Amino acid sequence: MIYRGLRYRLDPTADQARQFARFAGVVRLVFNLALEQRRDHWRTFRQVEGRPISFAAQCRELTLLRREYDFIREVTNTCQQQALRDLDAAFAAFFAGRARHPNPRRRGINDSFRFHGREIGVERLNRNWGRVRLPKIGWVRFRWTRAIEGKIKNVTISRDALGWHVSFDCAIEEAAMSLPRPEAVGIDRGVTRTLALSDGTFADMPMERLRLLDRRARKQARTLARCKRGSNRRLKARERLAATKAKAARIRKYFNHVQSRQIADAYGTVVVEDLATANMTRSARGTAEQPGRNVRAKAGLNRAILEQGWRQFATFLSYKLEANGGTLVSIPPAYTSQTCSACGSISKHHRKSQAVFSCADCCHAANADTNAAINILRAGTRPAVRESVAAPLTRESRCAA
């Protein structure tokens, strides 16, 4: 059984949006009250009850609280219990030394609440829209961007800078997964071509859009800095900046999901350069013959934008491969762009420009990024023994052929 979270953008009516805010507010209050109880009153509780505060004990107190206050009773019980469960898990992680002490949830940052899968219903309305039935709220429309797989365990409603979203946590049977594929591929990450595969194909992030959003975000950050603290204008400016950043993040995420899906479905073994040490500077040089003005600044910006996406891409690729029974191999990035993929000769003069690789030894010519991707593939799949035995082809034998 594998678990996957599928997220969709909700389209609530104004009334539903108000209810969402109310649900989120009450759930946050329950969480913060329970946190306060555990943090400040655990000693008293133990003296009176003879045992530490537990999830069950807090659920009983929630029942009393619901009896007393109408506005708490008006919000679905399971949402509140889920908050107590989250808190319980957070404290378990804290006491196990895996996490820091839980913090209070904050308005505008932790606007979310969660239902059980069995409490809700989902329907597809047409090609682009679906709807989800939530307790006490009713049917809410959402953008149907992909099929829902498996059995829905939990449903989370949450708000970010781009609005309300619904996320279904689904349990998927492993029997539905395909067999691992025998083929292997190497991937080179660069600035001009986002991804170059050893099979000769490329995939590019929409850099123009991302640069535009980056420029807008910088401008909005300057505006924000000028706004008076605590003012309404400042609040609005912060929301606008957050929305721009969220938009850029969504574009990167979409690209990473789509590309990692295609690669994980086509290949059983994928080789990439080691994330921590990946050398991006070599690709930022611009063309050798035509360095041009602004090339460095532009490349630097591209690099900054792309670097934000690498880790996510590797994460997506890794879990998608795992689900398919494939593997992700990472190799140290030394000389992958300076090595000739045909004869193995290493020289920085082989790379004639940003795009062109031309071996000075064996005349092999190729796209520079594809050439690097082939080297990456080889480094990740070559058995260590063969590596030491095989002699590289000589210059004469290759050029004569």
**DSSP output for 142-169:** EE--SPPPSEEEEEEEEEETTEEEEEEE
Nearest distance, CB of residue 335 and Zn ion, angstroms? 13
Binding of residue 159 to Zn ion (CB under 5 A): no
Binding of residue 343 to Zn ion (CB under 5 A): yes
Least Cα distance to 392 among 364, 366, 370 occurs for 364
Candidates 88, 111, 214, 369; catalytic one: 369
Q: Which is nearer to Zn ion, 284 or 359 (CB)?
A: 359
Q: Per the structure block, which two tokens stand in for 164?
A: 């309300």
Nearest distance, CB of residue 388 and Zn ion, angstroms? 20
Does the annotation mark 265 as catalytic? Answer: no
- The neighbouring-strand residues paired with 12 are none
Nearest distance, CB of residue 340 and Zn ion, angstroms? 3
Nearest distance, CB of residue 345 and Zn ion, angstroms? 5
Does the annotation mark 369 as catalytic? Answer: yes
Q: Which is nearer to Zn ion, 294 or 347 (CB)?
A: 347
# residues near Zn ion by CB under 5 A: 8
Q: Map the footprint of Zn ion across residues 354-373, applying CB under 5 A.
A: 359, 361-362, 364
Does the annotation mark 123 as catalytic? Answer: no
Binding of residue 83 to Zn ion (CB under 5 A): no
Least Cα distance to 261 among 349, 195, 345 occurs for 195
**Contacts by 97-102 with C-beta closer than 8 Å and gap 24+?**
101/39, 102/35
Contact 211, 301 (CB under 8 A): yes
Binding of residue 374 to Zn ion (CB under 5 A): no
Which parts of 227-342 fold into alpha helices (H)?
232-266, 295-324
Candidates 88, 111, 214, 273; catalytic one: 273
Contact 172, 150 (CB under 8 A): yes
Nearest distance, CB of residue 375 and Zn ion, angstroms? 11
Least Cα distance to 268 among 381, 177, 374, 180 occurs for 180
Residues 6+ apart with CB under 8 A from 31: 83, 84, 86, 87, 104, 105
Q: Which is nearer to Zn ion, 200 or 325 (CB)?
A: 200
Binding of residue 53 to Zn ion (CB under 5 A): no
Q: Which is nearer to Zn ion, 100 or 348 (CB)?
A: 348
Residue numbers of the site for Zn ion (CB under 5 A)?
A: 340, 342-343, 345, 359, 361-362, 364
Q: Which residues are catalytic?
A: 188, 273, 369
